[in-house]
Structure 1
Amino acid sequence: MGQRRALPEDRMLVEQLRLQLGNIGSSVIPTLVVAAVLVGVLHNEANELALSAWCAAIVIFKLFLAWDARRLLASTIDPADARRLLWRKVGLNLVDGVAWGALAWAALGSTTVAGSVLVVAVLAGVAGSSMSSLAPIFPAFVAFGVAELLLLSSKLWQMDDPAYKTLAGASVLYMVALLGQARNGSRAARRAIALGFENLDLVERLRVETDHAQEAQRVADEANLAKSRFLAAASHDLRQPIHAQGLFLEVLARSRLSPEQADALANARATWQASAEMLDTLLDFSRLEAGVVEPQWQVFALQPLFNKIENELAPQADAKGIVYRSRETHAVVHADPALVGLILRNLVSNAIRYTEQGGVLVACRMHGEEAVLEVWDTGVGIDPSQHREIFREFHQLGNAERDRRKGLGLGLAIAQGLARALGQELTLASVPGRGSVFRFKLPLQRGGVVIEDGSGRDATSARASFDARVLVIDDDETIRTGMRQLLRAWGCECDVADSIEEAQALARVHRPDMVIIDYRLREQRSGAGAAAALRAEFGDDLPMLLITGDTAPQRLREARATGVPLLHKPVLPAQLHRAMTALLQGRELDSTFAWLRSADGERVEAP
């Protein structure tokens, strides 16, 4: 760093004066109160006239100082007048110090010992408080402090009591200490003023640099727009021959070919497919860059979209030997289903591409008036330093050789752009080596929890009905509503509770045939506690099922220790139906009901 530039002294004095003048207003009321109290406590026949005159002088002079400070602050102080005003300020504070010191001569010797102690204490306190308010102008404090404390010490020394003479010496030492502290305060004030001027200079330089940066940004934006137009045009012009190529390849595929020709054709078709996918990606990106993506808002259920994406992309996960799951949801949202589908496809494709073991999970959580869509994977993870970069176009992790089988590096940029087109933001949480989760929010449609229809892959109409009363304990209102509707669709009588106490009360009125409990409840309570309380009252043979969204190994081990079968969120309706059927028939659950890997890689299974 360079050396700090010295400021002109007059410029520095102006700021010191303004800083000190600004401190005067806050001392007016305390001064008036102290003066009145002292007169009320100390006056007697011997000193009544002297104290009254002292009080009048203090009040009048303090009001004058406040008026004078306000007047100067309201005007512009010319640096050329700074030194004259400085010495004027020193003179005024000398008078103020003499006025306060006169209290010792007006009261000491004519009041009680307690009154004398009060006088000494007040004058010492006034000197101390003035040190902080006058510190910006050190000569002004010297004038005030020396005048006040010298008058006090001289009066104390004049009195015949040795104790007062000792106080006189202590007053001199106190004055010396205050002068040292005031000098340090004055230096600190000057440094602060100098730093303030440097900051102003820095702000000005930053403003100039910002203007230059904005101009450079404008040029870059124009270049980026030209690039986007080129990509859009190139994408359009290349689609025609690529489309024709695909037609010819399909014709060849229907011809009689030798094994070598068939193998060559398969490679050609794979290359054509990759080219077509790249063009589709470029087209999506170009549309975003051009700002022509306009959401077509409508109300739709998420589950059919989840099912469609799973049908499309699950085979890719199967080919890599990883698990693909989508959590069943009853959420109904207000958005553009086409854009939401594109976002999810890009996120899921990206997750499958970078996951070599474990799995990919697509889920939806309710959060207030919003649905939070999440795509989880157990892939390579992303270093925090790359969290911003991966949303940049053509940026890829682990593809320095630009292998086009790994895509163009546009998927996340497109997903982010589409999310912003919907007025949302795509967020990322990731741990290198452990996996990632991408999230974006959509507005829920009011009353958007719906009963599953018969068209879904897990349609409730295809399931056997139950003749049972089920008690559900969950602190999430949306889940309680969804569970009640689902279980009633299965023929169950369903009671729902959000706490252990409410569940016990409902169970006493209608004894349940089965209890389904969320593991994490409000107030740091757990499903294990709820299970223990209900078993203590209704017996150990009451069928129970725990459901957990926790993946922490310790929490999962705690859940398993209860001996209650455990399902992991998200639970598909088919999975829940099979679990309920087994428990109500008195059968045990096997480990197929618990797909999930905990953070330390341990396989978590139902007991």
Structure 2
Amino acid sequence: MTGDQRVDIERLQLVLGGIGQSLPIGLLLSTLLLGVFWFSINNPEAPLWRHYHLALLLWYPAFMALRVTVVVFSRYWLQRGFSAERVMALLHWLLLFKGLEGVMWGALSWIVLRDGVSPAAFALLLALMAAISSNAVAMLSPFMTLYLTFIAPNLVLTTSGFLWLDGLAYKAMGICCLIYVLGQYWQARLVGRGLNDSITLRFANLDLVARLETEKATASAAREQAEQANRAKSRFLAAASHDLRQPIHALGLFLETLSFSALNVTQHHVLDSARSAHQGSAEMLNTLLDFSRIEAGVIKPRRRFCALQPLLYKLESELAPQADARGLVYRTRETRLAVISDPALLELILRNLIANAIRYTESGGLLVACRRRTGCVSIEVIDTGIGIAPDQHQDIFREFHQLGNPERDRSKGLGLGLAIARGLAHSLGHTLTLRSRPGRGSLFRLMVACATEGPAPDIDGESAGSLEQSLVGRRLLVLDDDSAVRLGMHLLLSGWGCNTREAGSLDEALALDWPTPPEAIICDYRLREEQNGVSVIRHLREHFHADVPALLITGDTAPERLREAASSELPLLHKPVSAAALQQTLKTMLPERTPSLSPSAESDAP
């Protein structure tokens, strides 16, 4: 159904509704007029008296029959309803009915306009014509043809009736009737136009609301689809990451163990190349891990005083060789400024920004500088690289979005660096912005709160004594459902002088012969039969009746798994674990050995 058809149906419903409610007033008005005009002749002996009353007696039932017919017709079609195709047929019937009604009202004027009728009756007739015309304006103006069909015969007969009478006053009344109805005609046009515009606007608003609802539903469906795709992507990445981390973690353990062996120069060269390839894979997986940790919301910033120059010097010493290898100039402007931030997370943000600048700069170089702003420090990474088009300024912060890397060159990363940088900046309450133009390089600006006080004591620092503990002779229990990982851990820990036992599940660990409890437990977070490391460690501590130090190692990067592991409050390392990180964590978590006296010393003791 078109918009015009809906408007026509609405207009006709308004007209039918008005007519359907007009029976009581029509009955009352026609009966009142009959009574008034019946007694309005001053001279009952007048020759036309009998004809006058006979005409009134004929007019009244004819008019009432017509009025009842029109009302019943209108109510019937209102209740039944009608389609757009029936509008014209119903309108034709209404034109017939209203034309006849106009003739009936005009005929009444001819009946009562005669000599001998009281002036009061004439005044009542004029008031009646005015009321009928005004009512027709309100009721019939949606269709001007309907209004004209009704008012034209009424006007012609009433005006001619006044003009037929002798006397200037009657002729003046006829002319006044004509002028009044003409004025009413223009008012009817205005009212009709307003009603039609209102109906059209209402349907336009309804169409707009319907369109908005449809677009809202479409947008909601698209958003739900995008969220499902994002969740599916996260699940896929988590599963793929976990499955990749297992063999790469085991490979790292084997390579580290192999480094203890006596190798010739060629073998050392091959080993270094294998370790370099392993390190590249581990770095990519750790990038995915950083992104997953941001999505999971498990990164809890620990803001404190952070001097910027040592951090910038550390980054330059690590990343400048990469710039040198590409023939780029790496410059850092010295600064004495300090900020309030999490040093580790701030370092990760800047490392991603600087590494990104090195990747996408072909010639020239980059500058890392700090500038004081009102209450803040602006840390800026400026490069002379390829630049970024304005319409890409937001897209480059989306995950896996890369510019100028259609072949997915592994040396250019995964497209997560800037997404991680913005996510970490948001977590820290910092502001990361970009200014760039194609071919003119880029400027990444990180706004960080300026530090106003000196550094606070580092209560989280590890004591020198704990870092110097030896692992030789330590009794360790390793739980992992991957046999290659268990073997790699056994070889590596044995190479450090540890006494290790391995198990693939809680039942296997409990079945081992334990003369004394282990000094530490190294447990994978996800084991067979839906066991997780947290519950396994709890059961083992209950079994040993001791709060044995424990370390969780996980290859899971699913957000819910990261949250669960982080909430355990156990030390947590992510596969692939470097040998240095594992060694340092074990030294930190293991208690110091209690010095024991030798037998000779015991005998000499007092």
| TM-score, normalization by structure 2 | 0.42
| TM-score, normalization by structure 1 | 0.42
- The one of the two structures with greater contact order (alpha-carbon pairs below 8 A, sep at least 6) is 2
Of structures 1 and 2, the larger Rg is shown by 2
